[in-house]
Structure 1
Amino acid sequence: MILYIWRHPKPILVKGRCIGQTDIAVDKRKLKRLANKIERFVRLHQLPKVIWVSPLQRSLGVGQILAQRGFQYKIASELAEINFGVWDGRPWEQIDKTEIDDWCRDFAHFAPNDGESLHQLFERADSWLHDRVIKSEFESTNGFESNSESNGQPILVIGHAGWINAAKMIAAKKSVPKIASEWPQSVNYLTHHRLDF
């Protein structure tokens, strides 16, 4: 299975804030810019006009624009960014330094109150990817036709930096990072990545 995943456009007013599942707005022009890029990519590579999005508006908004251009978009809550719980949406400077130190000491398993750990994000991403691989293999083996994912067609996704990094590490068969320095840099906004499973 091949997965092409684009990172959503940069949201408004995020500098210095802890952003996970906080649903923040994005300039409509930036949403259209990414929709244009995806539409050109799909046309160039003759791919099905089906794309997966998270329920967060920085991903969903692009899917909705593409739907106006003949795409089908599918919403999956499993594609959402990591949930930072009580930290989510707050300025980093307002988060207790001892909690951040605890996170760095147990990078894989620490979760802020009401949030999820990196390990849980990996499990969520791996489960969704596993389901797509099984569905793709079943449909191609049994001759089913669908709008995507059958006959080895790539899967298209608009995702979030943490989820994308987790998926890239899963594709590379790497384990959940135990220390913060093992976590890769965030992928750039509007860029796409190919992952092979």
Structure 2
Amino acid sequence: MKLILVRHPAPEVANGVCYGSSDVAVAPHILAAARASLRASLPTNTPLYTSPLSRCAALASMLTGDLQASQLTHDARLMEMDFGSWELRAWQDIERGDIDAWAFDLAHYRPGGGENVLTMASRIAAFLDELLREQHAAVIIICHAGTIRLLSALQAGLPLEQTALLAASSAHKIAYGAVVTLDFQRPTVTPAV
């Protein structure tokens, strides 16, 4: 199955602000530009899945008609990580000791008391397992950089904790509106031990 992953357009949030699971909007002109760019390059008549956060869902809604998508599914498992009390705070205002604690334990530490990377990896793996059982030739998924990093890491077929660590330690190089294509030939998710 081909997974065509699209990162949402740049949201209306200041640079340097943590906004994981916060529902931040995209300016209409940015959304329109992303739509125009993507509708020319994405396949038609393909199932479309999206995070329910508006920065993804608004684009997905527009592309559904443009691409004559065979279905549109909002799935909360595709959401970005919940950073708890860090949400909508400037990274520079978060205690250095808290950030260091997260860097020391990437898989298990709960930034701001929110979600840890292992929990996010578990929900992304559950989404992928279900999706692979549906046996589509290809799907389009409008989501977040963290989601894309985890789906990419799942291709390695590692145990879930190692998958979470791989995704969390990977350099972030996914631009807003970027398209990343993955090919899953068979289920590769290994349960945690």
Tell whether the structures are fold-level matches, with TM greater than 0.5.
Answer: yes
User: Which residue is 1:61 aligned to?
Assistant: 58
Q: Tell me, yes or no, if structure 1 residue 31 matches structure 2 residue 31.
A: yes
Query: Is the 1:108–1:176 contact (alpha carbons within 8 Å) kept by the matching residues of 2?
Result: no
- Separation (CA, whole Å) in 1 of partners of 2:139 and 2:153: 18
Q: Secondary structure at the match of 2:20?
A: coil
**Which residue of 2 is the match for residue 73 of structure 1?**
72
> Are 1:171 and 2:158 an aligned pair?
no
- CA drift of 1:28 comes to 1.2
Conservation of the 8 A alpha-carbon contact between 1:80 and 1:159 = yes
SS at match of 1:5: strand
Asked if the contact 1:17–1:92 (Cα under 8 Å) also holds between the matched residues in 2, the reply is yes
Is 2:178 aligned against 1:191? yes
Report the alpha carbon displacement of residue 4 of structure 1 after superposing the two structures with TM: 0.4
Are the counterparts in 1 of residues 4 and 182 from structure 2 also a CA contact under 8 Å? yes
Q: Which amino acid aligns with 1:191?
A: A
Letter in 1 for 2:171: P
The TM-score, its normalising length taken from structure 2, stands at 0.84
Query: How large is the Cα RMSD of the aligned pairs?
Result: 2.1
Gaps of 5+ in 1: 137-148
Map Cα deviations across residues 155-197 of structure 1 (whole Å, 9 max, x no partner).
1011100110111111133523549983222311111011111
| In structure 2, distance between residues paired with 1:176 and 1:58 | 26
Aligned twin of 1:19: 19
For 1:78, the aligned partner's letter is: R
Which runs of at least 4 in structure 1 moved beyond 4 Å after TM superposition?
A: 177-181
**Aligned counterparts of 1:154 and 1:182: Cα–Cα separation in 2:** 28
SS in 2 for 1:41: coil
Contact 1:165 1:186 in 2 (8 A): no
Residues 165 and 184 in structure 1, CA contact (< 8 A), matched pair in contact too: no
Identity %: 27
Residue-by-residue CA offset, 1:82-115 (whole Å, 9 max, x unaligned): 1111111111122121111110110111012441
Map of 1:2 onto structure 2:
2
2:143 alignment partner, one of 159, 170, 185? 159
The 2-side partners of 1:190 and 1:87 are apart by 24
Distance 1:128 1:36, change over 3 A: same
**Cα separation, partners in 2 of 1:27 and 1:67, compared to 1, 3 Å:** same
